[in-house]
Structure 1
Amino acid sequence: MEELAKEGREAFAKMDIKISLKELSATTGVSPSQIRYWEKKGYIKSIQQQKNQSHAYTIHTLMIVLGINHFLKQGYTLSAAYEKQHAQRGVYRALRSLYSRVEKVERKDDGEVLVDLGRLADQPAKHVVAQISPDYQVQLTLKDEN
């Protein structure tokens, strides 16, 4: 299972998905004119292979637009919303880094999921394991290496 998770992460990282302005707008709820304005201001970037060709946007840009829009709805100005969204990217990178530590994922017959987060730095014979119940309650435990 852990090999499948690793392959999935690597495949997603290699994907080169691009979406149109219309798709970006429909997915995020942000109007095309707002998206163009944000691009003009330098908050987001598009890809345009040739002059007079439609602009395309990456999934990364889609996430930025969602973040900016979220903070705008909370009452922030555009520049403040962009800054808040930009600061959040550090949190997302940290979570991705944590996710990359996952050594093993196991689903038990009772629906419980065990996620092995790897060895403790100061006790390498012990692993941190997240036990996730069928109702998604999480409990962290230390397990001896077996």
Structure 2
Amino acid sequence: MENTKKKKIHQLFENLEIGIGGVSSSLGVSQRQLRYWEQKGYIKPVTEKSGVRHYSLATVYLIAFIKDQLDAGYTLDAAVKKSKEVRIKSKIARKLLRNAFDDIEVTDEEKGYGEIRMGEMEVGDKKAEVIGIVDENGSHFELKEE
């Protein structure tokens, strides 16, 4: 994806706003809960247009994640902590895979299987290509000697 398309998608992600009522009804989190999460500093509204809170799409994703964790039995503090851990891990994975999308080979479109060429590494005195594989055995890496 070219850089301008990425910027536009990023702008949409940052600029799309959803009102507190829409978030509440869509995700099953009461407006009172959302205000409490704001007071605790876990989420922030982008704007309060005419007294109505609006949230960015990124914040809506965060709210959905926290709600899922609460439904799974986590405490609010634990859910927020886990969301921060996932955010950090996702950022690292995006950096690692930023250019890998050009080197993905789909081996079974229907099942979502494929291979990602991760680059070269040296193993002793030999060079090998690292390949990430998703197949019927799960996900794993293989070294293909050159």
TM-score normalised per structure 2: 0.69
Distance 1:8 1:99, change over 3 A: farther
Aligned to 2:84: 86
| Structure 1 vs Structure 2 CA RMSD | 3.3
Aligned to 1:12: 9
Deviates more, 1:84-93 or 1:54-63: 84-93
Residue-pair matches, total:
138
Letter in 2 for 1:115: I
In 2, Cα distance between the equivalents of 1:14 and 1:144? Answer: 42
Aligned to 1:65: 63
**Structure with the largest fraction of strand:** 2
Q: Deviations over 1:55-97 (max 9, x none)?
A: 2211221222123223323444333432332233222222222
In 2, Cα distance between the equivalents of 1:75 and 1:36? Answer: 21
- Give 1:35 shift: 1.0
In 2, Cα distance between the equivalents of 1:82 and 1:90? Answer: 13
Mark the runs of 5 or more structure 2 residues left unpaired by the alignment: none
Aligned to 2:42: 43
In 2, Cα distance between the equivalents of 1:125 and 1:9? Answer: 34
Does the CA contact (< 8 Å) of 1:101 and 1:118 recur in 2? no
Distance 1:141 1:23, change over 3 A: same
1:46 aligned counterpart, secondary structure: coil
- Write out the 4+ residue segments of structure 1 that deviate beyond 6 Å after TM superposition: 5-8
Distance 1:49 1:65, change over 3 A: closer
Aligned sequence identity (%):
26
Q: Deviations over 1:2-48 (max 9, x none)?
A: xx497775553332322222232233221222112211322100111
Higher relative contact order (CA 8 A, sep 6+): 1
In 2, Cα distance between the equivalents of 1:76 and 1:130? Answer: 32
1:138 aligned counterpart, secondary structure: strand
2:47 aligned counterpart, secondary structure: coil
Letter in 2 for 1:93: K
TM-score normalised per structure 1: 0.69
Letter in 2 for 1:128: V
